[in-house]
Structure 1
Amino acid sequence: MNRCGLTEVREGCYVDGLSADAYVWYEEDWQHEANEHVHRRYQLTYVEEGYQYFHIGKKIYLAPQNHVIWIPSGEPHRTSTEAKTVNLMLILFQSVPDHDFFKQVHLFPAPKVLKEMLLYASKWNKRLHDEEEKDIFLQAMLTSLPSFCNENNALQIPIPTDSRLIPVCNTININYPYHLDMENLADVAKMSVRNLQRTFKQETGITIQKYMQLIRILKSIAYLDTNQYTLSEIAFKVGYKSLSAFTASYFAIMKTKPRLKKNLS
């Protein structure tokens, strides 16, 4: 199976038969990779349309529209989405500068200049060989990535390893539109409220209240993508009592106000 210019030799394992140091792959209506896989190329992914979840290690990263994610070489990952349409651009690099940035996963909104560079790079879509202009241009973009990165850590969903916390996360993910009492969540975990709060923060780096907020906002992104509801309807669907409360919470996470693709009557 050929995927993004790489060949799958066995399930989840891709080998690099590309001669080009950098390879561009753009695809509309992307079919996500449900199985975990790994390859020996550094991966820059730009979400042009829709949104995509990246399951990497103990976190799930949400890359909404106009965001990019950097995945180091050799990092196992898989993707998922509920979006109707996902348009993605991937650039796979064989070599990168000696900079700590390139050794870690990064997720951040693409600034205007980076989006313009990615748009220009699409002209080399699926070109298998090195070309002078392509090599110079993509290396310049690669070198500039650390300065483009304005990371949004709020788009990282932590996955606890303590088995007692998994049912708590599942309960929140299912019942996010409703008020969840801390005592009830403690009963789910079979822990005291104090112990639950302390353990959850230690395991995930965020409080349960922050996790609830994060899940609600991430769910709202899925509703926004459908373009079937007004902002007020979405606010109530994800558990907010007013549009203003939803807008403030959304801005705290996304650093921008929620917007529909087009006005609904």
Structure 2
Amino acid sequence: MKSKYYLTEVDKNPQSIFCYHDLKGETFVESHKHQKGQFLYSEGGVVHVKTNSRMYYLPARHYMWIPSGTKHAIYPSSSKVIMRNLYFPITSNSSSFYKKEGIYPINNLLLELLLFIKNWNGDITKSQKNKYAIVYAFKALLEQSITKSLHLELPHPKDGRLINIVNYLTNQIHREHLLPKLASNFSMTDKSLYRLFKKDLGMSFIKYYTQLRIFKSLEYLMNSDYNISEIANMVGYNSLPTFSNTFCNVMGKRPSAYRKSNEIYN
């Protein structure tokens, strides 16, 4: 069931809560959607979740809520990543939490429950009273324990020129890029490139570029033995304090503290 569970099994019983754990080593889950809403939790690295409009960066010890009917593909950043999934039936009168995409840090209570059910795979139905009570409570706790959704996503560019520029920035992430030089490389003025970022992506060049660098650094922090200074250089920062301060502004903690959260719970 491993390779196709998300296409063939999740919605077979519309009333069940479906569990799927330990997708360690899976490198790509093709674009698909479910009638059920999806809770996706990550350990051991970063998971990229691509929707029609955005690329989300789901770090270790966080979860993403994916609403029912949302088309998405999943790209773990390494084979070390473990993903844990719960799929819930969502009704039209469900709270707004279940109807919007979001990334949230997991709290201790949710994590303990998740580890308690880590060996449960497949449909959990109301006839399985003890199991169903636990996973149903898990769903209720999600909306009662949420903090503000973290903005760990970048929009997809639509303009062909900007698609090429964003691909260039991604492929040359180890270099520092300034707007005037970048614009010149693509035969544009810096003002026209600035306006293109604002119009197409709804954010400035510097905000997009900063988030791209920090999100990329998450992968190196979680999946490599490089030290923090080396990682700063790998995403184009010549100054370790500047990288550390920028990382803290985006992620809420220092890179060294973030790296410590990479331990996998068994």
Give the TM interval when normalised to the shorter protein.
0.7 to 0.9
Residue matched to 2:94: 98
Report the residue type matching 1:54 in the other structure. Answer: V
Residue matched to 2:264: none
Q: Per-residue displacement from partner, 1:172-230 (whole Å, max 9, x unpaired)? A: 11222222232232235544322221221232222111111111112211211233211
Structure 1 CA distance for aligned equivalents of residues 234 and 156 of structure 2? 24
Match of 1:120 among 112, 116, 120: 116
Cα distance, 1:128 vs structure 2: 5.0
Cα distance, 1:257 vs structure 2: 1.4
Cα distance, 1:28 vs structure 2: 4.4
Report the residue type matching 2:81 in the other structure. Answer: V
Relative distance call for 1:2 and 1:85 in structure 2 (3 A) is closer
Residue matched to 1:166: 163
Relative distance call for 1:7 and 1:161 in structure 2 (3 A) is closer
Structure 1 segment 91-240 matched on structure 2, within 5 A: 91-96=86-91, 98-126=94-122, 128-130=124-126, 131-146=128-143, 147-153=145-151, 155-240=152-237
Report the residue type matching 1:21 in the other structure. Answer: S
> Any gaps of 5 or more consecutive residues in structure 1?
9-13
Report the residue type matching 2:72 in the other structure. Answer: H
Structure 2 CA distance for aligned equivalents of residues 55 and 150 of structure 1? 21
Cα distance, 1:33 vs structure 2: 3.6
Note if contact 2:90-2:98 (Cα within 8 Å) is conserved in structure 1.
no
Relative distance call for 1:255 and 1:261 in structure 2 (3 A) is closer
Report the residue type matching 2:180 in the other structure. Answer: E
Match of 1:65 among 51, 60, 67: 60
Residue matched to 1:86: 81
Note if contact 2:54-2:153 (Cα within 8 Å) is conserved in structure 1.
yes
The alignment's C-alpha RMSD in Å is 2.4
Match of 1:124, SS state, is coil
Match of 1:256, SS state, is coil
Report the residue type matching 2:40 in the other structure. Answer: T
After superposing on structure 2, the runs of 4+ consecutive aligned residues of structure 1 that deviate more than 3 Å are: 1-8, 125-130, 187-191
Structure 2 CA distance for aligned equivalents of residues 94 and 52 of structure 1? 24
Structure 2 CA distance for aligned equivalents of residues 168 and 122 of structure 1? 42
> Any gaps of 5 or more consecutive residues in structure 2?
262-266
Match of 1:247 among 234, 238, 244: 244
- State how many pairs are aligned: 256
Structure 2 CA distance for aligned equivalents of residues 127 and 15 of structure 1? 8
Cα distance, 1:251 vs structure 2: 1.0
Match of 1:185, SS state, is helix
Residue matched to 1:46: 41
Note if contact 1:164-1:190 (Cα within 8 Å) is conserved in structure 2.
no
Match of 2:56, SS state, is strand
Structure 1 CA distance for aligned equivalents of residues 2 and 41 of structure 2? 20
Match of 1:164, SS state, is helix
Structure 1 CA distance for aligned equivalents of residues 204 and 114 of structure 2? 37
Structure 2 CA distance for aligned equivalents of residues 78 and 139 of structure 1? 26
Structure with more contact order per residue of length (Cα contacts < 8 Å, sep ≥ 6):
2
Report the residue type matching 1:111 in the other structure. Answer: N
Note if contact 2:7-2:32 (Cα within 8 Å) is conserved in structure 1.
no
